[in-house]
A and B are shown apart, each in its own frame.
Chain A
Amino acid sequence: MRKPRRKSRQKAEGRRSPSPYSLKCSPTRETLTYAQAQRIVEVDIDGRLHRISIYDPLKIITEDELTAQDITECNSNKENSEQPQFPGKSKKPSSKGKKKESCSKHASGSTFHLPQPSFRVVDSGSQPEAPPLPAAYYRYIEKPPEDLDAEVEYDMDEEDLAWLDMVNEKRRVDGHSLVSADTFELLVDRLEKESYLESRSSGAQQSLIDEDAFCCVCLDDECHNSNVILFCDICNLAVHQECYGVPYIPEGQWLCRCCLQSPSRPVDCVLCPNKGGAFKQTSDGHWAHVVCAIWIPEVCFANTVFLEPIEGIDNIPPARWKLTCYICKQKGLGAAIQCHKVNCYTAFHVTCAQRAGLFMKIEPMRETSLNGTIFTVRKTAYCEAHSPPGAATARRKGDSPRSLSEAGDEEGLKDGGEEEEEEEMEEEEQEGQGGVGGPLKGMPKKNKTSLKQKIKKEPEEAGRDTPSTVPIVTVPQIPSYRLNKICSGLSFQRKNQFMQRLHNYWLLKRQARNGVPLIRRLHSHLQSQRNAEQREQDEKTSAVKEELKYWQKLRHDLERARLLIELIRKREKLKREQVKVQQAAMELELMPFNVLLRTTLDLLQEKDPAHIFAEPVNLSEVPDYLEFISKPMDFSTMRRKLESHLYCTLEEFEEDFNLIVTNCMKYNAKDTIFHRAAVRLRDLGGAILRHARRQAENIGYDPERGTHLPESPKLKDFYRFSWEDVDNILIPENRAHLSPEVQLKELLEKLDLVSAMRSSGARRRRVRLLRREINALRQKLAQPPPPQPPSLNKTVSNGELPAGPQGDAAVLEQALQEEPEDDGDRDDSKLPPPPTLEPTGPAPSLSEQESPPDPPTLKPINDSKPPSRILKPKKMEEDELLEKSPLQLGSEPLQRLLNDNGINRLSLLAPDNPAGTPLSGVGRRTSVLFKKAKNGVKLQRSPDRALENGEDHGVTSPPASPVSIEDEHHSRKRPRSRSCSESEGERSPQQEEETGVTNGFGKHTESGSDSECSLSLSGGLAFEACSGLTPPKRSRGKPALSRVPFLEGVNGDSDYNGADHRSQDAPGGPPSQWCPHPCPPAGRAETGRAETGRGWREALPCPLL
């Protein structure tokens, strides 16, 4: 927005006659183009530089006038058209009058007097001392509009001063108090704000910024930051900054030259017949379109930056004036240009061409000549016929400027009346003032009237001349009650009258400023007011947003609640777990022993996948069960007992377990799955029980309370272990000082240890050695217990550790099994026979020649596949069976007894001797024998039956001799026992042979594996059948039986051998049931033996062969 002061000046310019070339003759050099510079003469006069256009007529002036001339020139250089007679800008009221005078002079066009500088010296020239700067920075804080509204923002300008002076003068004359400048400012300020509010509330007309606007000079709508499209605030003319020569965007209002300088009168272009558009003044005071000036070659701009004034119209050749525009068909109106196409003489006005959308292009060119590089533009315009393709689009654009200007015209028309009114009002006011006299003194009456006439004339003109460019000037009307309110706070005389005048003055002033508010802030606000509607929408959206926010907040809260509840859920789950754990812990605390037993029981039951032992035997199914089994037992009963705290020690528990196994074995025939399952269970259970015992010892239980001991026992580091220990104990001499039981225990422990190791070559070897030792020991130990056949098992099991006598037998079995492996002739036993052991195996066996008696026993076994029913267990208890059985059977018990005795003796003898060698020897031997038996059996089972029998006798007989000490029966069986324990000369050689043979055989006859099982079984049975009580035999037999479970993947704990033992014993009871053929067991056994014997015998030859 321009400063008001300048405004007035412009107005003055507008009114003065358009010939002020003298003011413009010295543009600064920098703004000149080369071409212009060529046409300018620089003159240096008295050290001052003067630039004078060569076209300008040089006036001849006298010396007197020279100084004045200089001054004007200086002023013009500054582009300051302000009259130099107000150099001091004094605010004295007199200056106002002078100014007006000068204005009127200009307007009248009279030759003007150069103004004389007038000045006076101010007396009190003392400059006030600047206040000391504060330490802190000043910071400007813009006040919010609310605060500003309360303040007085308006500053008087000179015009206001003048007016106020006039008014005050009048008031003085009338005898009223003067109105101070402050009051004036306040009132004007209030008026402004009131009008602002008014316009806002009335939703003032919205001049939307036309996004599609295009510059009416270049018809382009591109808009860069450095070259924006400006809109005239009055006629809404749209031009580029560069196209209209506006290097800087003025603050606030911007008006085109036409609206600025000739607001009330439409201007015509001297170069074309068209109206509207961007005009500039020519150097001779006419108007012309900027486009026309650009396109007509002879015409140019004096100042190429501001693009004004237009020069060179005189240079246009007459021929151009005479051209007929082919678009508007008008001749002689303005200058036309011609199509640039060669040989085309079509002429058209520039603006006509623009509106018609002809092809008109301006390109910047760079020409290089001798003089240097010149930047010029090349303009090309074609007539319709020659427009290059693609130019058609321009046409559409071309149409709009016209419509735009026409719209402007119409508006102008409408507003003509309004303005007239206002101006009349002004006049009235002036008249009134004039009536009073004072302030208007300086203004001649003549002037006033002439002005009036002029004003009156204008409306007429407006009426006549259709196109009136006077724009709408909207000054919001302020209702009178508002006016009253505005001045209510003030008190001075004749307030209302003054207010009326002030209001009118203000209205006029606004009018003069084209309705632009006098307070700058409000002006900018006015523009922002356009956004009022948007603001409304914003409010709406923000309301919606608020609502959304509310919901989202709710959602958040819910989400948090959900999270918390999720946490609670998790917590409760954990608490539940905690309760469970607590319960378990409490159980452990209160009855740890029971817990141990329970887990053990669970483990045991796991080994009974078929649930054979899970429930008590159903007596309705097996009515005679109780006949054989006095104390039935099963897992469920055990569990019941356990839960009712009837087990105080592990032994009690173990006893029941053993009972299960023995019962089963007693009642069921050996080849039934039940028997086998029992054997298996015994094997596996033994290990578990031993482990449980170890655990119990380590933990330390108080048997009375079933709780932990107050102090935990010293932990035997059971699992600490070194190979040396094992190796040490493997050497018989090292444990010679120990009793066999202790030795056995030791060995078993070591075995457990070793087998718990990770598998490795060392481990396997030691396991084998250990087993062999254990086997041997057991065999040795087993001899003593047999004396009491019936109770044997139980006593054994109960009496000693799980590894007890039973274990011994088991060990033996293991040993047997292992050895077979070693020898490799045993079937495909899963354990690969390590060759290294082979030599050791056979060697000891050879050393002890007890084996020979065995072979005979084996023979009967062969037959005894069925004989398994024969079952030694019956031995004592089941006399019935025995009775049924032939002599042999009947005699068996006796024999057994005898044998046992014998054995005992033998065993007793054996231990007495240096323990190691003989024991081990026994084990090996037996195993070897076994193998032989197998081999033999395999080869010739059936054929030998007859022989077997015979052999049996034969076999028995030879032993009998040694045994002769006792009964015949004894003697019969003794041989075996003897053969086991003692070396019988007769057989020993055979055995030796056999062993050798077996070895050889083993290698050759591996195919026999299948039969082996049965054979072994039968063999085992046979042994027992014959020598039932004799441990060695048992042991021999057992291995065979145990093999099955063994092969089935038993770990090979020595226990199972023990288990086998039992199983063999136990099943003895029920054989009758199991074997459909009530054939005498003994007989079968014998036959079996015979077979085996044959087999063995025959086996012998084979290798020999």
Chain B
Amino acid sequence: MATAMYLEHYLDSIENLPCELQRNFQLMRELDQRTEDKKAEIDVLAAEYISTVKALSAEQRVEHLQKIQSAYSKCREYSDDKVQLAMQTYEMVDKHIRRLDADLARFEADLKDKAEGSDFESSGARALKKGRGQKEKRGSRGRGRRASEEDTPKKKKHKAGSELADAILSVHPSDVLDMPVDPNEPTYCLCHQVSYGEMIGCDNPDCPIEWFHFACVDLTTKPKGKWFCPRCVQEKRKRK
């Protein structure tokens, strides 16, 4: 199908995603292993230190502790690497998802055009109209983070679409809803719920929560400039 050319391209591009993912995870695993090794080493060192402290001179003590310290710093290094790796992986998948979304939007638009070109009203399409009600819901469920940018234009497009396109497109919202809720889905916000609707990220890079529902932080629109979550604001104040 000619319409799916870009989709074919997409398939090509996504082909090696699994490999990349695997490689990254492999790396992470290795790092993890090394960290664990270091930790074991540290334990040994610590035990040794404790048993011999009495006999050690100050310099020796320092030396010994230094060893432990350096082992720890290695651990942290590994940890940082892992976090970095995870973020990188996330970005990678996210990039693919965004591209797919864009392609899908294009695909849907094409379908719509075609549907308008050949004016047929199929009873089938009419029957499928029922599925439409669910669509609005989908918008709200949406993608957590990028929701704000992505979802709204999409929804508009739906509304403008012809009946057939509607009928076809109406299939996927239900699909989205049908998708079983992953019990492990990461939770965010003060409320510890999964992401939905519009979310805002705390600008504190060390924020333990990171993402917040608009409603939970009393926001309706995206604030200008930096935004910090209530917790981080408190912390900041304390530090001051």
* A569 with B87, Cβ < 8 A, contacts A548-B107, A561-B21 known: yes
Smallest Cβ-Cβ distance to A560: which chain B residue:
B182
Closest chain B CB from A559 CB (angstroms): 7
Q: Is the CB of B168 within 8 A of A563?
A: no
CA gap between A351 and B93 in the complex, in Å: 75
Q: Which of A37-45, A537-545, A740-748, A1075-1083 contacts B (4 or more CB under 8 A)?
A: A537-545
Return chain A residues, CB-CB under 8 Å to B61: 591, 645, 706
- By Cβ-Cβ distance, the 6 closest A-B pairs, closest first, are A576-B79, A569-B86, A645-B58, A705-B53, A538-B124, A583-B72
Return chain A residues, CB-CB under 8 Å to B167: 541
Q: Is the CB of B122 within 8 A of A534?
A: yes
Partner of B35, one of A552, A553, A554, A579: A579
A70 within 8 Å of B by Cβ? no
Please report which residues of chain B, range 47-86, place their CB below 8 angstroms from some CB of chain A when the two chains form the complex: 49-50, 53-54, 58-59, 61-62, 65, 68-69, 72, 75-76, 79-80, 82-83, 85-86
CA gap between A572 and B108 in the complex, in Å: 38
Return chain A residues, CB-CB under 8 Å to B147: none
Return chain A residues, CB-CB under 8 Å to B58: 644-646
| Residue picked from B4, B46, B124, most chain A C-beta under 10 Å | B124
Closest chain A CB from B143 CB (angstroms): 8
Please report which residues of chain B, range 7-36, place their CB below 8 angstroms from some CB of chain A when the two chains form the complex: 7, 14, 21, 25, 28, 35
B190 within 8 Å of A by Cβ? no
Q: Is the CB of A549 within 8 A of B186?
A: no
What would be 30 A-B contacts, judged by CB atoms less than 8 Å apart? A541-B167, A544-B111, A545-B171, A548-B171, A548-B172, A555-B104, A556-B176, A558-B93, A558-B100, A561-B21, A562-B93, A562-B97, A564-B184, A567-B184, A568-B89, A569-B83, A569-B90, A572-B82, A572-B86, A575-B79, A582-B39, A582-B72, A583-B75, A586-B42, A586-B68, A589-B50, A590-B65, A644-B59, A644-B62, A706-B53
Smallest Cβ-Cβ distance to A533: which chain B residue:
B120
* A534 with B80, Cβ < 8 A, contacts A556-B179, A566-B186 known: no
Interface of A is mostly: helix
Smallest Cβ-Cβ distance to B59: which chain A residue:
A644
A363 within 8 Å of B by Cβ? no
Return chain A residues, CB-CB under 8 Å to B42: 586
Please report which residues of chain A, range 516-538, place their CB below 8 angstroms from some CB of chain B when the two chains form the complex: 531, 534, 537-538
Taking beta carbons and an 8 Å cutoff, which residues of B are in contact with A?
Answer: 1, 4, 7, 14, 21, 25, 28, 35, 39, 42, 46, 49-50, 53-54, 58-59, 61-62, 65, 68-69, 72, 75-76, 79-80, 82-83, 85-87, 89-90, 93-94, 96-97, 100-101, 103-104, 107-108, 111, 120, 122-125, 143, 164, 167-169, 171-172, 175-176, 179, 182, 184-186
A1048 within 8 Å of B by Cβ? no
Please report which residues of chain A, range 575-616, place their CB below 8 angstroms from some CB of chain B when the two chains form the complex: 575-576, 579-580, 582-583, 586, 589-591
* A572 with B83, Cβ < 8 A, contacts A545-B171, A559-B97 known: yes
Smallest Cβ-Cβ distance to B68: which chain A residue:
A586
* A545 with B168, Cβ < 8 A, contacts A561-B93, A590-B49 known: yes
Q: Is the CB of B107 within 8 A of A551?
A: yes
Smallest Cβ-Cβ distance to A538: which chain B residue:
B124
Return chain B residues, CB-CB under 8 Å to A646: 58
A704 within 8 Å of B by Cβ? yes
CA gap between A568 and B93 in the complex, in Å: 13
CA gap between A400 and B237 in the complex, in Å: 84
CA gap between A561 and B86 in the complex, in Å: 12
Smallest Cβ-Cβ distance to A580: which chain B residue:
B76
Q: Is the CB of B82 within 8 A of A576?
A: yes
CA gap between A554 and B97 in the complex, in Å: 9
Q: Is the CB of A573 within 8 A of B83?
A: yes
Closest chain B CB from A540 CB (angstroms): 9
Partner of B175, one of A531, A556, A591: A556
Q: Is the CB of A544 within 8 A of B168?
A: yes
| Known contacts A569-B87, A586-B68; 13 further A-B pairs (Cβ under 8 A) | A552-B172, A558-B97, A562-B97, A563-B182, A565-B86, A568-B86, A569-B83, A579-B76, A583-B69, A590-B49, A590-B53, A590-B65, A706-B53
Return chain B residues, CB-CB under 8 Å to A567: 184, 186
Closest chain A CB from B1 CB (angstroms): 7
CA gap between A432 and B182 in the complex, in Å: 80
Smallest Cβ-Cβ distance to A643: which chain B residue:
B62
Smallest Cβ-Cβ distance to B184: which chain A residue:
A567
Return chain A residues, CB-CB under 8 Å to B59: 644
Return chain B residues, CB-CB under 8 Å to A591: 61, 65
Smallest Cβ-Cβ distance to A576: which chain B residue:
B79
CA gap between A645 and B66 in the complex, in Å: 12
Number of A residues with CB within 8 Å of any CB on chain B: 51
* A537 with B104, Cβ < 8 A, contacts A547-B4, A558-B93, A569-B90 known: no
CA gap between A560 and B87 in the complex, in Å: 16
A672 within 8 Å of B by Cβ? no
Return chain B residues, CB-CB under 8 Å to A564: 184
CA gap between A156 and B31 in the complex, in Å: 85
A884 within 8 Å of B by Cβ? no
CA gap between A89 and B179 in the complex, in Å: 65
A320-333 vs B, Cβ < 8 Å mask (1 yes, 0 no) = 00000000000000
Q: Is the CB of A531 within 8 A of B123?
A: yes
Q: Is the CB of B100 within 8 A of A566?
A: no
Closest chain B CB from A719 CB (angstroms): 23
Smallest Cβ-Cβ distance to A591: which chain B residue:
B65
Return chain A residues, CB-CB under 8 Å to B21: 561, 565
A570 within 8 Å of B by Cβ? yes
Please report which residues of chain A, range 1007-1063, place their CB below 8 angstroms from some CB of chain B when the two chains form the complex: none
Q: Is the CB of B65 within 8 A of A576?
A: no
Q: Is the CB of A555 within 8 A of B54?
A: no
Smallest Cβ-Cβ distance to B7: which chain A residue:
A551
Q: Is the CB of A705 within 8 A of B54?
A: yes
Return chain A residues, CB-CB under 8 Å to B107: 548, 551
Return chain B residues, CB-CB under 8 Å to A555: 97, 100-101, 104
Return chain B residues, CB-CB under 8 Å to A566: 90, 186
CA gap between A455 and B176 in the complex, in Å: 69
Return chain A residues, CB-CB under 8 Å to B143: 559
Closest chain A CB from B232 CB (angstroms): 15
Q: Is the CB of B28 within 8 A of A572?
A: yes
Q: Is the CB of A645 within 8 A of B185?
A: no
A707 within 8 Å of B by Cβ? yes
CA gap between A549 and B170 in the complex, in Å: 11
Q: Is the CB of A589 within 8 A of B179?
A: no
Q: Is the CB of A548 within 8 A of B169?
A: yes
Return chain B residues, CB-CB under 8 Å to A563: 182, 184-186
CA gap between A547 and B86 in the complex, in Å: 32
Closest chain A CB from B18 CB (angstroms): 9
Return chain A residues, CB-CB under 8 Å to B7: 551
A282-320 vs B, Cβ < 8 Å mask (1 yes, 0 no) = 000000000000000000000000000000000000000
Smallest Cβ-Cβ distance to B87: which chain A residue:
A569
Return chain B residues, CB-CB under 8 Å to A579: 35, 72, 75-76, 79
Return chain B residues, CB-CB under 8 Å to A580: 76
Return chain A residues, CB-CB under 8 Å to B97: 555, 558-559, 562
CA gap between A644 and B63 in the complex, in Å: 9
CA gap between A537 and B164 in the complex, in Å: 11
* A541 with B122, Cβ < 8 A, contacts A549-B171, A559-B97, A566-B90 known: yes
Return chain B residues, CB-CB under 8 Å to A576: 76, 79-80, 82-83
Return chain A residues, CB-CB under 8 Å to B169: 548
* A562 with B100, Cβ < 8 A, contacts A569-B87, A582-B39 known: no
Return chain A residues, CB-CB under 8 Å to B185: 563
Smallest Cβ-Cβ distance to A575: which chain B residue:
B79
Smallest Cβ-Cβ distance to B211: which chain A residue:
A566
Return chain A residues, CB-CB under 8 Å to B90: 562, 565-566, 569
CA gap between A548 and B186 in the complex, in Å: 27
Q: Is the CB of A549 within 8 A of B175?
A: yes
CA gap between A706 and B61 in the complex, in Å: 10
Return chain B residues, CB-CB under 8 Å to A553: 175
Smallest Cβ-Cβ distance to B64: which chain A residue:
A590
CA gap between A580 and B79 in the complex, in Å: 10
